[in-house]
Structure 1
Amino acid sequence: MPTPSPTRRAVDGAAVWLWPGRALYAGPSLRLGPHSGAVACLAVGVDAPFAVRPVTGGELRARTALIAPRMRHRLMMPGDRMVFLYLEPGSADDRACRTGFTAGQGEILTGHRHEDDLLAGAAELSPHTPVPRVTAWIAGAVGHAGTSYADPRIAAATRRLVDARRPLPAGPLAAELGLSESRFLRLFRDGTGTSYRRFRLWAQMHRAARALAAGHNLTRAAADGHFASPSHLSTAFHAMFGLTPSALLSGNPTIHCLDPSPEALT
């Protein structure tokens, strides 16, 4: 069972759980303006239905909705609490989650087939929820519990990326594992469901979040995450999730950073 890193304690019940490849937020509605991110977002209205308004026009009301990457939109949330599950596009999580929806159109899917169970579970999520219960909720949302990496070299590579003390290009890591770079990159995508570059970015976010969870500031978090500066971290974070680290941290969430291996997801 994975052990969370030191946590940043919340006063208002907001919490973030982060793995390379997925992230979960539970807490007060973030009240964002029009935004988009590079990841898929499963939104759950814990207290009440919400509306998804694409900037191109129209509106869909839902209690559960899956919003496609890079679709600029605004969420209108009358309820106090929301849950957001962020998934790497094209990953096994993303593909499986999409099959769980029964309605919606285009880049917005609504009505998860297990909506009642997701709502009940989402209402129980808090900074102190045990990790197995959190991952069980995610498994219900995405429709599978995760599997082990078939190739132990890829499992080793993911651990190296998360723990790297310096930026780690694909070539040197492939050489460490006795593989050509091209072969390594193919095996990495097959094993993780995403590219080496994307996983490395998630790993950088993971390292930065570990610094924040330990109480460090954004300058230290950027350095630990191998970002050139706090502004570089903020820009990368905003591009991925659709909000800045400062906007997220203003709610003083408890941050849990979890092991990257799929075994840690079950």
Structure 2
Amino acid sequence: MQSIHFRNHLFAFQPGDLAMHENLMPCIILGRRAPVRVSGQTTDIEANAECIRPGVPHCVTVRDGGADIVYFDGLRLEGSNDFASLDGEWHGLPDAFKTADRVRITSFRNRLNGDTVPPDQSVMQLIRQIYDDPLRRMSQTDLAHAIGIERTLALRHFKDTTGQTFRKFKIWAAMVRATQLALRGEGIGNAGLAAGFSDASHLTRTAATVFGVTPTQGLSGLSGLISVEA
């Protein structure tokens, strides 16, 4: 059986500010024509290519030319720095997304990957279900049953495999789906409902927490989203 891999997401942003928020997945920010400034609670960094660890509060200033922002689902970062500058080769990453070059995207992931153990495919089968149908109500009991271990152990194993809690991974998958639907022309409210949010305000609050923007503000500065499994 062919292995299931995590998905990776390229968001194209126009110049502007992202308010204080915490990423749910490891994030790479690539300024197109000017450096991007990332400000944390104790550290600031300004560079053309930067990596941000998930769970770290920060705000972002995207300058002239905009930026490409990439999220690597399930990646376990090496090192302990909250923010890190990256070399110029990372500016080839957006082209890999545009051509759906899975091999090249994987090579970029591997540069940062601190865990070389292949992910448990029983968990990855659930991940694919979450990706494909975030509206589906998948409980902790469903998770434990699918993996075949006790609930608390299943939750721990899920986080060990994905780098994120079961609840937050589902929130992330729903945010990506809502953004995809909105970019296809769905209204914000309908996109949120189709992705599993209770209403438009629920989506708005979650987008502010995850991206530092409301859905309307984000879409006004968002020019595209590409997701590739690799």
Gaps of 5+ in 2: 1-5
TM-score (norm 2): 0.75
Q: Which amino acid is the alignment partner of residue 48 of structure 1? A: A
**What is the Cα deviation at residue 230 of structure 1?**
0.9
Number of aligned residues: 221
- Which of 58, 83, 86 is equivalent to 1:108? 83
- Which of 143, 164, 170 is equivalent to 2:111? 143
Tell me the equivalent position of 1:84. 69
C-alpha separation in 2, matches of 1:163 and 1:76: 31
Q: Which amino acid is the alignment partner of residue 83 of structure 2? A: I
**What is the Cα deviation at residue 44 of structure 1?**
1.9
C-alpha separation in 1, matches of 2:158 and 2:62: 39
Tell me the equivalent position of 1:14. none
- Which of 198, 213, 218 is equivalent to 1:248? 218
Give runs of aligned pairs for residues 232-247 of structure 1, distance below 5 A.
232-247=202-217
**What is the Cα deviation at residue 217 of structure 1?**
1.3
**What is the Cα deviation at residue 213 of structure 1?**
4.2
- Which of 126, 129, 144 is equivalent to 1:160? 129
**What is the Cα deviation at residue 32 of structure 1?**
0.8
C-alpha spacing 1:25/1:176, structure 2 compared with 1 (3 Å):
closer
Counterpart check, 1:216 vs 2:216: no
What is the Cα-based RMSD across aligned positions, in Å? 3.4
Q: Which amino acid is the alignment partner of residue 117 of structure 1? A: E
C-alpha spacing 1:138/1:245, structure 2 compared with 1 (3 Å):
farther
C-alpha separation in 1, matches of 2:14 and 2:168: 29
Q: Which amino acid is the alignment partner of residue 158 of structure 1? A: I
User: Alignment partner of 2:17: what SS?
Assistant: coil
Give runs of aligned pairs for residues 22-101 of structure 1, distance below 5 A.
22-29=8-15, 31-32=16-17, 34-39=19-24, 40-54=26-40, 60-68=45-53, 69-75=55-61, 77=63, 79-87=64-72, 91-93=74-76, 95-96=77-78
Which is further off, 210-219 or 232-241?
A: 210-219
- The share of aligned pairs that are identical, in percent, is 21
Counterpart check, 1:203 vs 2:189: no
C-alpha spacing 1:203/1:147, structure 2 compared with 1 (3 Å):
farther
Tell me the equivalent position of 1:183. 153
User: Alignment partner of 1:227: what SS?
Assistant: coil
Q: Which amino acid is the alignment partner of residue 209 of structure 1? A: T
Could you report, residue by residue, the CA deviation over 1:100-152 in whole angstroms, capped at 9, with x for unpaired residues?
xxxxxx64322x2xx22123x15x649x821116x725742661689795433
**What is the Cα deviation at residue 216 of structure 1?**
1.4
C-alpha separation in 2, matches of 1:212 and 1:238: 16
Residues 14 and 222 in structure 2, CA contact (< 8 A), matched pair in contact too = no
C-alpha separation in 2, matches of 1:116 and 1:245: 31
User: Alignment partner of 1:167: what SS?
Assistant: coil
Q: Which amino acid is the alignment partner of residue 23 of structure 2? A: A
Residues 42 and 65 in structure 1, CA contact (< 8 A), matched pair in contact too = yes
TM-score (norm 1): 0.67
Residues 54 and 74 in structure 1, CA contact (< 8 A), matched pair in contact too = no
User: Alignment partner of 2:125: what SS?
Assistant: helix
Residues 31 and 67 in structure 2, CA contact (< 8 A), matched pair in contact too = yes
Gaps of 5+ in 1: 1-18, 100-105, 259-263
Residues 210 and 257 in structure 1, CA contact (< 8 A), matched pair in contact too = no
Question: Whose radius of gyration is greater, 1 or 2?
Answer: 1
**What is the Cα deviation at residue 168 of structure 1?**
1.4
